[in-house]
Amino acid sequence: MEKMCPFSLLILLALWIFGPNLVNGDAQQPASPPIFILGDSTADVGTNSYIPHCNATANFPHNGIDFVNSRPTGRFSNGLNSADHLARLFGYNSSPPPFLYLHSLKYGLQLGIYRGVNFASGGSGLLDDTGLKLNVLNLPQQINQFVTVRENLITALGHETTKALLAKSLFCITTGSNDIFVYFKTRSTMPKEEFINLLMEAYENHIKTLYSLGAQKFGIISVPPVGCCPANRLLNATRCFEPMNDFARYFHLAIDKLMCKLSSELQGMKYALGDSYKMTMDVIDNPRPFNFKNVDSACCGHGTLNAEGICNATANLCSDRKQYIFWDMFHPTHAAARLAANTLYGGPTLYVSPINFAQLAAEN
Ligand SMILES: *[C@@H]1O[C@H](CO)[C@@H](O)[C@H](O)[C@H]1NC(C)=O
Ligand SMILES: *[C@@H]1O[C@H](CO)[C@@H](O)[C@H](O)[C@H]1NC(C)=O
Ligand SMILES: *[C@@H]1O[C@H](CO)[C@@H](O)[C@H](O)[C@H]1NC(C)=O
């Protein structure tokens, strides 16, 4: 049975449509581009909470402890994650909502499209099988959801307007870490070069698919120093686990080459590539100037470095959360994610190249 749309919900939906402009109240400001987000838990704003029997969720305390009303939102964070912080820099209040949330509302998809949609699903990777056992959404499934959004756009706006809207939209992708975790967890013997090439083949296919659907501006976030997250420090007596970091560095070299090649092949395609490895490692090596004190343990968790058990209601919880880089055994805190987003948005070519995310959005 259909229900009437409650009045408060209508206001909420109106805020999505007019979001940044209404909030800024400034007609001079250029409209913020729609942002479509794909990838893993570093950008998941609740997708996994909508998947039945999903084994990679965060919709319980202490997650969300610093969110409004200390509400767990499905984000693997004490507050916001990097997708939210990036969206804020573009004038929104937070990341666009998860596709699965919009899909559950009667007119959600039509209304969500003007600010974008978040498809990211924690535990997913570049390879279709990464996260399979956790019952998460892999990249082809996320792209299929985008196809649904695009069809709704075409129905509402027509082909030409949709094409123009998608061409100026930002497509942010953050993925690759979980593939590397699985590689080590399963003790794969595939040579590093071969494995990373496999990931690049997958990345190339996904980018070409999105491009064929109208995406032109890609904001790519490469793999951070995964060997330094608390869970993997346990593999080297609380120091960084170097074999994983070596894969992360190699991943960045490979994606740098791939994006350069694709931008010369695909007409009108533009990109910004964030070097998550370098930007994170520079903070881990020298945290003081960034106001961090703890770069090795998780703020929330169990056991050594709080990295032996997930962040849940009975976990240890640090009080000085702004001084921690890691929220739980794998994920950054609100503060660390904000620093990363600031660097992606406006940082120098040392960290984000050939242009940063702000310049990418401004391109014609
Ligand atoms: C998923 O969760 C169920 C119970 O919630 C557990 O029995 C199972 O081992 C988990 N699977 C994986 C792959 O973690
Ligand atoms: C363990 O940490 C030390 C000190 O940082 C480093 O030199 C060594 O390469 C690491 N070993 C592994 C296996 O990661
Ligand atoms: C929290 O996680 C710990 C460690 O994994 C586990 O032993 C405990 O049962 C969990 N508590 C709750 C409330 O889920």
pTM of the model: 0.92
Q: What is the pLDDT of residues 147-187, one digit of tens each?
A: 999 999 999 899 999 999 999 999 999 999 999 999 999 99
Q: What is the CATH number of domain 6-362?
A: 3.40.50.1110
DSSP class of residue 120 equals -
DSSP class of residue 214 equals T
* 112 closest CA partner among 122, 123, 94, 99: 99
Cα–ligand 1 centroid distance for 55 (angstroms): 6
The residues that bridge with 170 in the sheet, in sequence order, are: 35, 217
Q: What is the pLDDT of residues 231-264, one digit of tens each?
A: 999 999 999 999 999 999 999 999 999 999 999 9
Where are the extended beta strands (E) located within 207-288? 217-221, 270-274
Is 70 annotated in the active site?
no
- Residue showing tokens 């609100």: 334
Work out whether strand 35-39 and strand 170-174 pair parallel, antiparallel, or are unpaired: parallel
Ligand minimally distant from the alpha carbon of residue 225: 2
Ligand minimally distant from the alpha carbon of residue 310: 3
Which pair of tokens denotes residue 85?
A: 């912080």
Is 41 annotated in the active site?
yes
Which of these ranges, 43-57, 63-77, 95-109, has the smallest mean pLDDT? 95-109
Cα–ligand 3 centroid distance for 230 (angstroms): 18
Q: What is the pLDDT of residues 94-125, one digit of tens each?
A: 999 999 999 988 777 766 678 999 999 999 99
Cα–ligand 3 centroid distance for 41 (angstroms): 20
Which pair of tokens denotes residue 9?
A: 């919900």
Q: Angle at Cα 172 formed by Cα 250 and Cα 231, nearest 5°?
A: 50
15, pLDDT greater than 90: no
Q: Pocket residues for ligand 2 (CB within 6 Å)?
A: 236, 239-242
Closest-CA residue, ligand 2 atom 8, reads: 242
48, pLDDT greater than 90: yes
Which pair of tokens denotes residue 43?
A: 């950008």
- What is the percent of the chain with per-residue pLDDT over 70, rounded to a whole number? 91
17, pLDDT greater than 60: no
Task: Choose, from 41, 169, 177, 222, the residue flagged as catalytic.
Answer: 41
For the chain, the average pLDDT equals 92
Q: What is the pLDDT of residues 306-334, one digit of tens each?
A: 999 999 999 999 999 999 999 999 999 99
The reply to whether ligand 1 has any atom less than 6 angstroms from the CB of 239 is no
- What is the sign of the dihedral through the CA atoms of 186, 191, 196 and 199? negative
Query: Per-residue confidence at 25, pLDDT binned at 50, 70, 90?
Result: very low
For residue 30, what pLDDT is reported? 56
For residue 108, what pLDDT is reported? 73
Task: Choose, from 206, 252, 331, 334, the residue flagged as catalytic.
Answer: 331
How far, in Å, are 252, 260, 340, 345, 349 from residue 353 at the CA level? 12, 10, 14, 11, 5
CA distance 18 to 115: 9
Closest-CA residue, ligand 2 atom 5, reads: 239
* 215 closest CA partner among 16, 35, 30: 35
**CB contact at 8 A, 318 and 299:** yes
Distance of CA 122 to the CA centre of its chain: 9
Q: Pocket residues for ligand 3 (CB within 6 Å)?
A: 302, 309-310, 312-314
